[in-house]
Amino acid sequence: MKHNGETQRASLLSASLQDLPDQPEALTRARAFAQPLLMGVTLDTGEDSLAHADAVTAILHQIGGSEAMQAACYLVYAAEHLQKPEEVIAKAFGPSYAELALETTRLIRVQRQARAVAAESQVAALQTENVRKMLLAFSRDLRVVLLRLASRLQTLRYYAASKQPVPNSLAYESLHVFAPLANRLGIWQIKWEMEDLSFRFLEPETYREIAKLLDEKRVERENYMVQLREDLEAELKTQGITAQVAGRPKHIYSIVKKMRGKSLDFSRVFDVRALRVVVPSVPDCYAALSMVHSKFSPIDSEFDDYIAKPKSNGYQSLHTVVRDAQGRPIEIQIRTQEMHDHAEHGVAAHWAYKEAGTKGYAGVSASGDYDAKIAVLRQLLAWERELSVGAQSQATTDALSDRIYVLTPDAAVVELPQGATPIDFAYTLHTNLGHRCRGARVDGAMVPLNTQLKNGQTVEVTAIKEGGPSRDWLNPELGFLASSRARSKVRAWFNAQAMQETAAKGREAVEKLLQREGKTAVKLDDLASQLGFKSADALFELVGKDEFSLRNIETLLNPPTTVMVADDYVRLKKAKTIDKASKSGVLVVGIDSLLTQLSKCCKPAPPDEIRGFVTRGKGVSIHRADCGNFRQMALRNGDRVIEVDWGQSASAQALVYPVDVNIEALDRQGLLRDISEVFAKEKMNVIGVQTQSVKDLAWMTFTVEVGDSRRLQKVLGLVKEVRGVRMAKRR
C-alpha cells in the first residue's frame, strides 16, 4: 500500500509524466501551423524564432522526447503571436497542447522579466534564486521544464555561434539554475554542454587557458587513447565479455571544478584521459572491473561503486582510476546499456520506458506510472533542497504543492501561498498597501479581489489614500485571503480599531469624572502614574473595558479624612482563629462572622485564588488574586489586605456565583441565539446579557451562574466552536 503523502505529492505530477496525446503527423502539422506565424520573427536574443524552434525540437529528439512533445515546441513559440492562443491551439491540437504551450510561454515571459530586473539591480544571485523557485513551481508539469532546458541550451549555442556578447544574468542563471536542474534530472547531455558554454561566457580567460592545455598534446593523447580503447575491448572479448569501449568527452567546467575543489594542477586531474565501458549486464560490469584492475594498477582512493549504492538522482555506474605502465592516470567508467541510457537521458527516458519488472531510478521499480512519478518527484524535491538558501528539510518537501510566484509591475518576484489573491499579494508587499487595497489588475485586466492568482502572472494593486480592510476579508467562505500572515494583519487592524474605540470611551469617562470633581487641571499622565499605570492610554483602556472602577479615581482625588485605627485593625487580625463560612461561601481566616461581599469588578467563583480587602463600613470585599482593581488598592493600602479562602461546608458548596464572559464574534443573524443555546445545553443559567455591534463585529458580555469556574472553561471551548466566534473568555 502506497504512503498517503507520496500518493498526494505524486498526483501533482500526474500530467507531467503522461506524454501528450498521439496525433497523426503531429510534428509536421505543428511546424506547418507555426511557420507562417514565426516567419521573419526574431527572439529578444536576435535569433530567428523558427530556427530556434527547429533546434529545440532536435535537442528534444536527442534526449528522448516523444514526437508529440517535439510538436508542442512549435506551439509554444507560436502562442505568443495568437490573439486567443488557448482557443486556437485547443481547437487545432487539443486542450493538453494548449495548456502546455501557455504554461511554457508564461514561464518564458517571467524569466525574461526577472533577468531584466537582475541586469538593472546587479543582484544576479537574488533574482537567480527567484527564477529557481519559479522553475520549481512550474515543474508540476515536467514537460515545461524539459522544454525550457532544451530552449536554454539552444540559446547558449546561438550566442556561441554568433559570437555576440552574452548577458551576464543569462549565463549566470544557466550555470547556477538550469545546469543543476539538468543534473538532478539526470540529463547529462544538456548538463555538461550548458556548464561549459556558461562558464565560457562568464570566465572566458580561464576557459581558454584550460582549452589550450587540453589541446597542447591532443593528437598524442588521442592516439594513445585509441590504442588503449582497442586493447581494452580486445582483452574483454577474450574474457567472454562483449563490450563497447569509447573515449569520454572532456568537459572543461568539470575539470576546473576539480582543480579548484581539490587544489590540483591540470596534470593531476584524472579524467583528462577517460574511457567508458558499456556491457550487457551487471555481472559483466564487475567482471570487467576485475579485468581492468588486474591489467592496470588501481588507485584505491578513487574507486566508487554507484551500482550497489546509486547516486541520489538514480545514476548507476562503476568508477575507477588506474595507472598504466608509465604511471599516467586513466579514469574508467563501467555500466550497462540501460544505465548508460539513463545517464544520457535521465527522466526523459521515462516517456519510452515502461517495461515491467525492470529497475528505474535508484532501484525504484518502474513497473507502473506511479513509481516513475514518485522517482521524478523525488529528484525535483532534492534539487530544491540542494539549491535552496537556508531551507529546512520539511519546509521544502511541500514546495511543489503550496507556493506560487507572481510578478510586480516592475518584474520583482513575489512568493505567495497556493490560492493567494491580490489582497495577499498587497499585504506581502506592505501592510499599509494591503489595508488600502481596493482593486487589482492581473496581466493588465481588472479582476475581483478574491481571484486566485497563478504562477507567472503580473499583479498591480489599486489603493486608496486612506482606509482600512473590509470585514468580509476575514470570512473564509468568501475566499479573499489565503495567507495566514495577511489574515493576522487584518485582525490586528480591527483589534487596533477596537482598542482605539475602547480607549476613547475610557478617556471620555475619565474626563467627565474630572469635570464633575472640578479637577480638570489634573494632568492625565500624572493621574495614571499615581494609579499605577505606565501611561494615560493604559488607564483609558482598562476604564473603557470596565476593568478599572472610576471609584478608585474618586478615592485618589478625594482621600478620606477618617481611617481605621491601626491598633484595632491589628487586634482584628490577631483575634482567635475561627474559620466560618459566610453567606457568600467565603472564609475569613481569623475573623468570626465578619461581613463579606464578592466584588463586582472581577466576580470571583470557586476555585479562583482570592484575596480580601477590608472596606470602610462594608466588611471585606472579595477579589480574584489577578484583579486589576485589587492590585491598585493593595498598592495604596497594603495593610488592609486580609487572608481569605473558600468554605468547605455543604451549604457553601451548593452556592452559585455570577461570572462575566466576554465574547467577540463576526455579527450575523441568529448569533445571540446560537451562543445562548450552548449555555442552555450545558445547564448554565444566564442572568444577564449585554451586546454591542460596530462595523459587523459584535461584542457580548454574558453573566452566568457557576458553582465551579473550572467547568466554565469547558463551556467556553464549546462557545468558540460557534460559527463566527473569534474570542470567548472570562472577564
Measured CA to CA in angstroms, residue 494 lies from 100, 234, 497, 539, 667 at distances of 44, 83, 5, 21, 14
Q: Does 317 map to a domain?
A: yes
Report whether pLDDT(577) > 80: no
User: Chain-wide mean pLDDT for the chain?
Assistant: 76
pLDDT at 397 over 50: no
pLDDT for the residue numbered 426: 92
Is there a single domain that holds both residue 475 and residue 497?
A: no
Tally of structural domains, the chain = 6
The confidence band for 447, taking pLDDT boundaries of 50, 70 and 90, is very high
Global model pTM greater than 0.85: no
| pLDDT for position 52 | 93
Percent of the chain with pLDDT over 90: 13
Q: Which residue has the cell 535552496?
A: 388
Least confident of 32-41, 253-262, 560-569: 560-569
Query: Who wins on pLDDT, 129 or 700?
Result: 700
User: Is 90 exceeded by the pLDDT of residue 51?
Assistant: yes
Domain annotation covers residue 380 = no
- The residue from 448, 482, 516 where one domain ends is 482
Task: Give the pLDDT confidence score for residue 415 in this predicted structure.
Answer: 80
Domain shared by 453 and 515, yes or no:
no
The HSE-up count of residue 192 (CA atoms within 13 Å, CB side) is 13
Q: Is residue 375 part of a domain?
A: no
**34 and 170 fall within a common domain:** yes
- For residue range 237-259, what is the model confidence (pLDDT) as tens digits? 888 888 888 876 567 777 777 66
394 falls within a domain: no
- Grid cell at residue 376: 521524478
Q: For residues 642 and 584, what is the distance between their CA atoms, to the nearest angstrom?
A: 16
* pLDDT at res. 153: 94
* Same domain membership, residue 576 and residue 636: yes
Q: Does 360 score more than 50 pLDDT? A: no
Confidence of residue 268 (pLDDT cuts 50, 70, 90): low
Percent residues over pLDDT 70 in the chain:
73
- Note whether 59 and 177 are same-domain residues: yes
Residue 410 has pLDDT above 90, yes or no: no
If asked whether residues 65 and 160 sit together in one domain, one would say yes
Q: 707 and 690 in one domain?
A: yes
- Pick the last residue of a domain from 165, 182, 202: 202
Region at 617 (left for phi over 0; alpha for psi -120 to 50; beta for the rest):
left
pLDDT at 676: 87
The enclosing domain of 426 has a CATH number of 3.10.20.30
Q: Is the pLDDT of residue 66 over 80?
A: no
Per-residue pLDDT, 247: 76
Summarize the confidence of residues 379-401 as an average pLDDT.
Answer: 43
Q: Is the pLDDT of residue 546 over 60?
A: yes
The pLDDT of residue 648 is above 80: no
Highest mean pLDDT among 180-184, 217-221, 420-424, 600-604: 420-424
- pLDDT of amino acid 225: 80
Domain contains 387: no
pLDDT exceeds cutoff 50 at 568: no
pLDDT of residue 379: 52
According to the model, what pLDDT value does residue 356 have?
25
- CATH number of the domain encompassing residue 677: 3.30.70.260
Q: Does residue 574 share a domain with residue 553? A: no
Give yes or no for residue 158 having a pLDDT over 50: yes
705-723 confidence digits (pLDDT tens):
888 888 888 889 899 999 8
Residue 368 has pLDDT above 70, yes or no: no
Query: How would you class 627 by CB atoms within 10 Å of its CB: exposed for 0-12, middle for 13-18, buried for 19 or more?
Result: buried
- Do the domain assignments include residue 251? yes
Which pLDDT belongs to residue 392?
A: 37
The pLDDT of residue 48: 92
Q: Which of these three, 557, 585, 609, is where a domain ends? A: 557
In tens, the pLDDT along 315-345 reads 889 999 888 888 878 889 999 988 887 776 6
Mean pLDDT to the nearest integer, 590-604:
72
Question: What's the one-letter identity of residue 229?
Answer: R
364 assigned to some structural domain: no
| 136 confidence band (pLDDT: 50, 70, 90) | low
Residue 261 pLDDT = 62
Ramachandran assignment for 680, one of left (phi > 0), alpha (psi -120 to 50 degrees), beta (any other): alpha
**Which residue would you say has higher pLDDT here, 511 or 370?**
511
pLDDT at residue 155 in the model: 94
Could you please report the per-residue DSSP string of 435-492? HHEEEEEETTEEE-TTPPP-TT-BEEEEE-SS----GGGG-GGGT----HHHHHHHHH
What CATH number is given to the structural domain containing 317? 3.30.460.10
> 436-445, 548-557, 609-618, 646-655 — which one is most confidently predicted on average?
436-445
Confidence of residue 586 (pLDDT cuts 50, 70, 90): low
Regarding predicted confidence, which is higher, 130 or 253?
253
**Do 428 and 517 fall within a single domain?**
no
100 versus 581: which is more confidently predicted?
100
In the Cβ-directed half-sphere of 363, how many Cα atoms lie within 13 Å?
A: 8
User: Taking 50 as the threshold, does the pLDDT of residue 374 lie above it?
Assistant: no
Of 340, 338, 334, the closest CA to residue 357 belongs to 338
Burial 283-297 (b: 16+ CB within 10 A, else e): ebbbbbbebbeeebe
Q: Residue 481's pLDDT is what?
A: 92
pLDDT at 63 over 90: no
Higher pLDDT, 251 or 439: 439
One domain, residues 149 and 252 = no
Query: Which residues span the domain enclosing 710?
Result: 657-730
* SS (HEC) of 649-692: CHHHHCCCEEEEEEEEEECCCCHHHHHHHHHHHCCCCEEEEEEE
pLDDT for the residue numbered 653 = 62
| CATH value at residue 66 | 1.10.3210.10
Residues 587 and 638 in one domain: yes
Residues 510 and 638 grouped into a single domain: no
